Amino acid sequence: MTAPASGQGPVLVLENVAKRFGPIEVLAGINLQLNRGEKRALIGPNGAGKSTLFNLVSGRFAPSSGVIRLGERRIDGMPAHQLNRMGLSRSFQITQVFGGMSLYENIYMAVMSRYGKRWSFLRTGRVWRDIAEQTRELIAYAQLTSLADRQASTLAYSEQRALEICMTVATGPDLILLDEPTSGMSRAEAANMVAFIGRMTQGRTLLMVEHDMDVVFGLADTISVLSQGQILATGTPAAIRDDTRVQDAYLGGNVH
């Protein structure tokens, strides 16, 4: 695994980002900054706009207004594939793996993209050895080697989630976005997932949406609370836990 490129300044900056769907303003003036190596969790009640925020940052939609920066470059409105090439990778709340392919092929496709082999008709040259090797190494690191030849659609749900995260990491991103990585899992599976994500995202910048507070406290070093389209508070887990506004808006009310 390559270490993320070192550099100064924040990795991700959102300035006054807003998103409207027709008349509904889902996000209203979001300001957010993520420093290199930071692990940030985004929490908030259902419908707060967390997935929408992810979709804006990862290039699924363009924001209605505001500026998003990845490092030095403005990225709002950029297509997803370009963002990925610039070092931003995301997972999906609803698992999106290639069910008809083996787990190995799933990862292989991600690694191919990282090596810039996006149009290849031929499989000649050293680079293909490197790609295969990288794929195998990554699968081994993720402790999925025993499943490598299995067709993805036959994997158990938690295994598919692991594959999804492994693919997300395999394109070699600096910034990783995970949307509810443990949704739909049992407590034991979620606990395993925390360890898995910790291992897979070591040394990288992480932004994740999560409902499960155990997962949040296990992985994040800072938390932002999103409520009604705005960032209510940002701080360390301890600080957020003690914040009365947050308790009112979220934790006190309906913890999922």
The footprint of other proteins (CB under 8 A) covers 22, 58, 60, 79-81, 84-85, 89-90, 92, 96-102, 105, 108-110, 112-114, 117-123, 149, 167, 171
Could you tell me the CA-to-CA distances from 122 to 116, 131, 133, 227 in Å, in that order? 14, 14, 18, 50
51 near Mg ion (CB under 5 A): yes
**Residues making contact with ligand ADP (CB under 6 A):** 21, 26, 44, 46-52
> Three-state DSSP class for 228?
coil
Judged by beta carbon, residue 98 or residue 141, the one nearer other proteins is 98
Judged by beta carbon, residue 180 or residue 243, the one nearer Mg ion is 180
Judged by beta carbon, residue 111 or residue 220, the one nearer other proteins is 111
In the beta sheet, which residues pair with residue 41? 208, 223
183 near Mg ion (CB under 5 A): no
Instruction: From the list ligand ADP, other proteins, Mg ion, none, pick the one residue 46 interacts with, judged by a Cβ distance below 5 to 8 Å according to partner type.
Output: ligand ADP
- What would the two tokens of residue 99 be? 């069910």
> Three-state DSSP class for 114?
helix
- What would the two tokens of residue 128 be? 């293909």
Judged by beta carbon, residue 17 or residue 170, the one nearer ligand ADP is 17
Is the separation of the CB atoms in 80 and 58 below 8 Å? yes
Alpha-carbon distance 209 to 197, whole Å?
Answer: 13
Q: Residue 150 CB, nearest distance to other proteins (Å)? A: 10
